[in-house]
Each structure stands twice: as structure tokens, then as C-alpha cells.
Amino acid sequence: MDEHAIVATITNTSPQLSWNLFDDIAALFHYEFMVHAFEAGTIVAVVAGAIGYFVVLRGSAFAAHALSHIGFAGATGAVLLAVNPIFGLLAFTLGSGIAIGALGNRLRGRDVTIGIVLAWTLGLGVLFISLYKGYATEAYAILFGLILGISANDVIVTLVAGIVTIGALIAVYRPLLFASVDEELAGAKGVPVTALSIGFMAILAIAVTEAVQVVGVLLIFALIVTPAAIAVRFTSRPPAAIVTGILLALGFTWAGLAIAYYSPHPVSFFITSLAFFTYVFVRLAEPISQRLRRKSLAPVAPAGG
């Protein structure tokens, strides 16, 4: 028995970090629930990072946020009816996503309309929770995610949904990019902008439903919006921004899971904190790096030029 195991046996709490990084990483995958968490987390991070680029480009961050919250009512309603909450979640996010998409991207009062619907469905969600006589755990899992409770079956469902969303994004990539950058121009060029807007929100609804399993409806921003918002500060090439967003989402998820494994605090907290502080760091570092770049680019330019 090595020292690490003895300590773990004596204290009988969450696993302890050793000085051997390789051992620590291997220990992460010791339990099946952690393997499932990493599998589902990886799929969700790829999907969220990819779709997040379009959410940021289209200025649909509030719509993404609202979708997940509207989904909350669907999920709690499903719990009440003794149905898997994921189906209630999907039904509500899809329905509201299609409705928001039909409102179009340019409509001025869109966010107000979304906000009004959002407030009402949250009220519905509260009613459903109060009617449900079981544990509050179900509601807690929906709100904040329960990635450590993911089954092998959930992983397969997540994988299928992930393949569908990524496949759909690839299929609409060019016209979606066009319509996101300039809807008027794309429409004149023959892009079906309204159908695309609806289609995009439907894809987003599926992605949100997947991501809810990991971070919950309240924390969805951390996986869908934050990685993409950081990525577009590094690169303005769309494919590079998408890849950067995916890598960041993967990094936050993996690191969050790993840290949470060695701590008593929830995974969602670490994932959202990593995303938040990375964003803050990038925003703060940006003006400094720009000043440095400008200096190095123009060493002979007269001052003030």
C-alpha cells in the first residue's frame, strides 16, 4: 500500500492529489461515473464550442440563455409527469427556439418578447417544482447540471445528439455564416434567411439540451457563449475561431472535472469559474498585448504616429 492510498483510507474523503501527475490523471478514470462524465463532457464541449461561434456572431447570446431557461419549465414538467426530464427540456427548447427563430434576427423588440416568454415559463417551472412531491434533487440537477450522475445510456444519447448538431451545423455552415454577417445581402443572394434562422435556433435548442446535462440551465453561458466570446478575440477567421472555441470549451470541462474530483465542490462551479476568469484575463490582457504589438511593429515610427 503506498502513501497516497493510506492517506485516502485514513481520511476517507474525496481523493487526494499526489505528486505524481500521471497517477493523478489515471485516478480520475478509476470510477465509471468519472469516465462517463468525461465522455459526455467532451461531446457537449465540442458541440457548445462550435455552435457558440454562431451565437456570438449573430448576437443571439440572450436567445441562447433564454432557451435554456424556458427549457427548465419543460424539464420540471416532465419530472412531474414521471417522464425523463431531457424530453421535456428538448420539447420546450425546440418549441421556443423555432418561435424565436421565426421572429427573425433583425426585429427590434425581439429580446423584449423573449424576456416576457422567459419570465412566464420560469414561473411555470416554479409551479411544477412545487407540485412535485419528490426530492428537490431533480430540479437541482436541471438547474445546475449533474454531470457526475450520467449513465452509459446518457452518453450514447448525448453522442447521437452531438453528431446530429455538428452534422447540421456543417450542412448550413456557409449560408448561416453569410446570414449571420449580413442578412440583407444573404437574402438577396438567395439564402433562405428566415428558414435558416429557425433552423439555427432548432440546432441551438438541441445543443442547449445537451449542455444542460453538464452545467445546468442556469450556467449554460459558460459553455456556449464564453468560449466563443474568447475565441473571437484571438482570431477573426471563422474556422479558426470555431476550433479555438471548441478547444477552450474542452479545456474548461476537462479541467473543471479534474479539479472537482479532488475537491468537495461542484463541477459546475469550476467549469463556470474557469470560463469566467479566462474571459476576464483575456479582456484585461488585450490592451496590453495590443500596445506591445504596436510598439514591436513600428520601432522606427515617430512617437504619436
Report if residue 191 touches other proteins, rule: CB under 8 A.
yes
Report if residue 173 touches other proteins, rule: CB under 8 A.
yes
Report if residue 172 touches other proteins, rule: CB under 8 A.
yes
Let me know: does 225 contact 61? Beta carbons within 8 Å: yes
Let me know: does 215 contact 272? Beta carbons within 8 Å: yes
Residue from 37, 73, 232, 248 touching other proteins (CB under 8 A): that is 232
Report if residue 177 touches other proteins, rule: CB under 8 A.
yes
Residues 4-63, interacting with other proteins (CB under 8 A): 56-57, 59
DSSP line for the chain: --HHHHHHHHH-SSPPP-S-HHHHHHHHTSSHHHHHHHHHHHHHHHHHHHHHHHHHHHT-HHHHHHHHHHHHHHHHHHHHTTS-HHHHHHHHHHHHHHHHHHH-SS-TTHHHHHHHHHHHHHHHHHHHHHH--S-SHHHHHHHH--GGG--HHHHHHHHHHHHHHHHHHHHTHHHHHHHHH-HHHHHHTT--HHHHHHHHHHHHHHHHHHHHHHH-GGGHHHHHTHHHHHHHHH---HHHHHHHHHHHHHHHHHHHHHHHHTSSS-HHHHHHHHHHHHHHHHHHHHHHHHHHHHHHH-SSSPTT-
Residue from 87, 98, 110, 187 touching other proteins (CB under 8 A): that is 187
Of the pair 141, 241, the CB lying nearest other proteins is at 241
Residue from 2, 23, 32, 184 touching other proteins (CB under 8 A): that is 184
CB of 225 to other proteins, least distance (A): 13
Report if residue 297 touches other proteins, rule: CB under 8 A.
no
Q: Contact region for other proteins (CB under 8 A) — 14-22, 108-116, 169-177, 286-294?
A: 169-177
Residues 67-106, interacting with other proteins (CB under 8 A): none
Residue from 2, 11, 120, 237 touching other proteins (CB under 8 A): that is 237
Of the pair 109, 239, the CB lying nearest other proteins is at 239
With CB under 8 A as the rule, give the number of residues binding other proteins.
28
Dihedral sign for Cα 230, 155, 143, 141, please: negative
Residue from 101, 175, 199, 227 touching other proteins (CB under 8 A): that is 175
Report if residue 163 touches other proteins, rule: CB under 8 A.
no
Residue from 6, 136, 156, 188 touching other proteins (CB under 8 A): that is 188
Residue from 28, 80, 114, 186 touching other proteins (CB under 8 A): that is 186
Binding site for other proteins (CB under 8 A): 56-57, 59, 170-175, 177-178, 181-182, 184-191, 232-233, 235-238, 241
